[in-house]
Amino acid sequence: MADRRIYIDKAPGETRGVVTLDGRSERLLIERAGEGWPRLGLRRRARVVLVDRALGLAMLDLGDGQEASLRLKADRPPPVQGQSLDIEIAIEPQAGKPAVARVSPPDAEAGEAPTLEQRLAALAPGARVIVSPEARAVADEAEEEALAVDHALGGGVSLAVEPTRALTAVDVDLGAAGGDGKRAARQANIAALHALGRLLRLKALGGLVVVDLVGRGHDGQALAHAAQAAFAADQPGVVIGPITKFGTLELALPRRHRPVREILCDRSGQPSVQTLALRLVRAIEREARAAPGGRLLARCAPEVAAAAAGPVEILKGIVGARVEVVTDPALRRGQWEIAAP
């Protein structure tokens, strides 16, 4: 039976929740102070601002500067501009596109999206919840794995997972395989598919996925069964195609959550200033708890210091006003120095 656990790390300015599967991170949820994109499950009344029948879409104003799109249904009359609709967010905004909404049932009540704790409990019903320094270490590891491209699976098997604008490309690799090469390739592909399900859930990636399998002459039935088991947790909505003559397996996964990379990184793919600022604050908190009562001076790049200002004030309320952050233009964005003055 699968062993799932929930870890919750609450830090100044940010809460991170992790669901682990047999000791490996499977889901990473992040909530930051001041971030307000429309989250999955949010219900509210929206106003139709545009109807484009050619594209089969309506654009909605959710209020508070938020927007969403609504896919028109062929069996329903389209809404009209200015009309009010009760909607629920079905897909969070991602890849530069707004959130996707659906019309709520007539008896549904408006309400905020489920809390991070509620979402974690829904993903791992009955799982043990851990809130401790251990949770922070687990969240840090989950963040690192979610942003990684290359993933070693052991036994010479590795996966490269690279999201693009059109699809997520996955490459399965196998080092020097001794003995029966075909059998080794089959085992490597099955192991890779099993790990891929967990990794794509951790990264919150959906849409089209193309897997370049290792070897030739694949056992299509065995790999289809492996893929069905690996992505069972993502149902409903998973479509698994046959293996092509090029040795690739295509899957279509439902898009629901905003990808972790889009939360943590800027458009260049590097950790954003906000991500770095929150990492700095966690580092200061760690030093403050290791040396209770002592003053701490942190030096960092100016833009990181500016982004960290709010969380640092929260931290002062926890460890006391003995923390000071100063700017140092000589330091790059990802660099900082923390010391007792």
Could you tell me the pTM of the whole model?
0.91
218 with 274, same domain: the answer is: no
* Inter-helix orientation angle 273-290/302-319, to 10°: 40
CATH classification at residue 309:
3.40.1260.20
User: Does residue 227 lie in a domain region?
Assistant: yes
pLDDT of residue 218: 81
Poorest-confidence range of 84-93, 161-170, 210-219?
210-219
229 with 324, same domain: the answer is: no
Cα 299 from Cα 325, distance rounded (Å): 6
168 with 234, same domain: the answer is: yes
pLDDT of residue 86: 93
pLDDT of residue 179: 47
Domain boundary among 260, 289, 320: 260
Q: Specify burial of residue 332 (Cβ count, 10 A radius: 0-12, 13-18, 19+).
A: exposed
Q: What is the mean pLDDT of the chain?
A: 92
* Token pair recorded at residue 132: 């401790």
Split into its structural domains, the chain has a count of: 4
pLDDT of residue 27: 97
Cα 35 from Cα 272, distance rounded (Å): 14
User: Does residue 12 lie in a domain region?
Assistant: yes
138 with 160, same domain: the answer is: no
| Residue 259: closest CA among 95, 112, 117 | 95
What percentage of the chain's residues is helix, strand, coil (to nearest 5)?
30, 35, 35
236 upstream amide cis, omega within 30 of 0: yes
Whether 62 shows a pLDDT value over 90: the answer reads yes
SS3 22: coil
Backbone angles phi, psi at 219, to 5 degrees: -85, 95
Cα 189 from Cα 71, distance rounded (Å): 37
Mean pLDDT, residues 161-187 taken together: 84
Neighbours of 196 (CB within 10 A): 25
